[in-house]
């Protein structure tokens, strides 16, 4: 609110200064009309006249863009933006779409600036990574402090249950079995498991390896 009031006061001062300069130029021009002709009078007259014409032209140009000036033969050339705002918006939107948002322009911008590489280089700096980590930690800490623990647990349980329900165990199991039985890998694994383990001298005697039949029937050798 304070900044808005300051801007309004600054605008009033600018308007007062512009009006004062216009009145000074008009007063000088009127004064030169009553003075006898001379080079200095002619110069002052030309300067004041140019100042008045420029000030009025600038005022008309700025005001005519936004407001209607009720003058004959001039009114239809005023209020340009209010009368053509739809067309201006369409042209501006088309310009932005064709020059900035179309696929070739976006690809060219990405290839030129390489945002992924820039982001990776930025995160490769330890100070930047530490700063981002601290911000994320603060955000998560504040979120956890404002949220009930019971609600978080329910939310996590619900999310885990949904994730488990979406897992296709049938397809995963089929892929695992296919990988295990490909090229008789299961036979090689069984033969490797049946080999006696080499033990260093002085170690306890290794138990006899189980036969395939015993491994399937659940039989164990009597070691007592």
Q: Where are the domains of the chain?
A: 8-67, 126-168
Fill in the DSSP letter of residue 160: H
Identify the residue with better confidence: 20 or 59: 20
Structure tokens at 14: 């600018």
Structure tokens at 166: 């979406």
pLDDT band at 197 (very low <50, low <70, confident <90, very high): low
Are 206 and 197 in contact, with CB atoms under 8 Å apart? yes
Q: Over 90: is that where the pLDDT of 47 sits?
A: yes
Please indicate, yes or no, whether the overall pTM of this predicted structure exceeds 0.85.
Answer: no
Structure tokens at 57: 């032209």
pLDDT on residue 22: 93
Identify the residue with better confidence: 180 or 27: 27
- Helices of type H across 67-222: 80-83, 85-96, 103-113, 115-124, 126-146, 149-166, 169-181, 185-194, 212-217
Mean of pLDDT values over 33-58 = 92
Query: What's the alpha-carbon Rg for the chain, to the nearest Å?
Result: 44
């Amino acid at each position: 609110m304070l900044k808005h009031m300051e801007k309004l006061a600054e605008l009033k001062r600018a308007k007062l200064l512009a009006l004062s300069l216009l009145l000074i130029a008009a007063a000088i021009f009127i004064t030169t009309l009553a003075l006898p002709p001379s080079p200095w009078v002619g110069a002052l007259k030309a300067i004041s006249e140019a100042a008045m014409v420029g000030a009025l032209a600038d005022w008309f140009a700025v005001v005519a863009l936004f407001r209607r000036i009720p003058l004959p033969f001039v009114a239809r050339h005023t209020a340009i933006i209010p009368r053509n705002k739809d067309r201006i918006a369409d042209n501006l939107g088309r310009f932005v779409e064709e020059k900035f948002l179309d696929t070739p322009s976006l690809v060219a911008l990405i290839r030129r600036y390489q945002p992924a590489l820039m982001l990776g280089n930025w995160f490769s700096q330890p100070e930047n990574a530490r700063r981002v980590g601290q911000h994320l930690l603060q955000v998560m800490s504040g979120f956890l402090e404002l949220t009930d623990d019971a609600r978080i647990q329910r939310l996590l349980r619900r999310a885990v249950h949904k994730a488990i329900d979406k897992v296709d165990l049938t397809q995963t199991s089929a892929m695992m079995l296919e990988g295990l039985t490909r090229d008789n890998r299961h036979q090689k694994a069984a033969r490797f498991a049946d080999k006696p383990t080499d033990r260093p001298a002085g170690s306890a005697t290794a138990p006899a390896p189980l036969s395939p039949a015993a491994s399937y029937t659940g039989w164990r050798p009597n070691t007592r």
